[in-house]
Structure 1
Amino acid sequence: MTELSAFTGDDLDLILDTPGVVMKGAIVADGHKNALAFLKEVTAGAKEFRAAQKHENAFVKAVATALRERGTDAETDDRELPFDDQAMTQALKQAQAATALLRERAEAPDAEAYGAWLLQIATVISESVKTKEGGFFSKKVAVSEGERVFLEHLAQAIGR
């Protein structure tokens, strides 16, 4: 198993900051500014962060535990929502950089589990609120078109 203590400075910050950045990217991916939807998405993300503290992969578990100890919690981190495409772009760039770093310096199963966890965070958030795509009389969908595109780009960024 790769030890989180093997990373320091900017590398450690990248590994620890990326899950929160991915969460923000997933939240804004639907393109809507709805306070209730925002709260549901933040809550879904927070549950995923807590669940990761019991993750089957020890490295992901160590990252989630370090986030909790660091005081970075999805529910308390940045109540302000960046409603722009920059959040998604930043999430994709950072996810790509973090997974590339782990592929280079961590054991393969740990790098794979971390990337899968990032995708899981975004998926859970995307599926947490059903939205109407086509207007008032359209049916609700679990994942909007914007969220679907974000999830596809995230999967590509992490090499899945």
Structure 2
Amino acid sequence: MTELSALTGDDLDLILDTPGVVMKGAIVADGHKNALAFLKEVTAGAKEFRAAQRHENAFVKAVATKLRERGTDPESDDRELPFTDEAMTQALKQAEAAAALLRERADAADADAYSAWLLQIATVIAESVKTKEAGFFSRKVAVTAGERVFLDQLARALGR
């Protein structure tokens, strides 16, 4: 098992900051600027962070616990709507870097569990708001085309 204490400095910051960055990227992936949807997505992400504190993988559990101890609460972290596409680009770059770091320095099982958790965060957020993609008379979809593209790109960045 990989100990979180084995990571220091920038490496530790990368591992701890990436889940929040992925959350922001997933929130903007649908392309909508709706405050109610934003709140639903942040709430879904926060629940996923709390659930990770009981994760079956000890490394993911340690990351989630450290985030809680550090005072990083995704629900209260950002009250502004992050509407730029830069959030998605940053999320993809940072997730790729974090996954590569863990593949080099961590147990394969821990690296895989962390990557799966990042993808789970994005998926839960994408599925948290049903959206009418094609306009008023269209039916609602759980994951928009933009969110699907982001999830696919994230999975590739994570090597999944």
Fold in common (TM above 0.5) = yes
Structure 1 gaps, min length 5: none
CA distance in 1, matches of 2:105, 2:79: 33
Paired amino acid for 1:22: V
Paired amino acid for 1:76: S
After TM superposition, give the deviation of residue 71 of structure 1 in Å: 0.3
Paired amino acid for 2:159: G
Q: Say if 2:53 is the partner of 1:56.
A: no
Paired amino acid for 2:78: D
Tell me the SS of whatever aligns to 1:30. Answer: coil
CA distance in 1, matches of 2:104, 2:124: 28
Task: State the partner residue of 2:130.
Answer: 130
How many matched pairs?
A: 160
Using the size of structure 1 for normalisation, the TM-score is 0.99
Contact 2:131 2:144 in 1 (8 A): yes
Q: Where do 1:5-154 residues align within 5 Å?
A: 5-154=5-154
CA distance in 1, matches of 2:29, 2:153: 11
Deviations 1:90-136 (A, max 9, x none): 00000000000000000000000000000000000000000011011
CA distance in 2, matches of 1:115, 1:23: 13
Using the size of structure 2 for normalisation, the TM-score is 0.99
CA distance in 2, matches of 1:80, 1:7: 31
After TM superposition, give the deviation of residue 82 of structure 1 in Å: 1.8
Tell me the SS of whatever aligns to 1:76. Answer: helix
Where does structure 1 differ by over 6 angstroms across 4 or more consecutive aligned residues? none
Paired amino acid for 2:135: G
RMSD over aligned Cα, in angstroms? 0.4
CA distance in 1, matches of 2:107, 2:79: 35
CA distance in 1, matches of 2:76, 2:98: 23
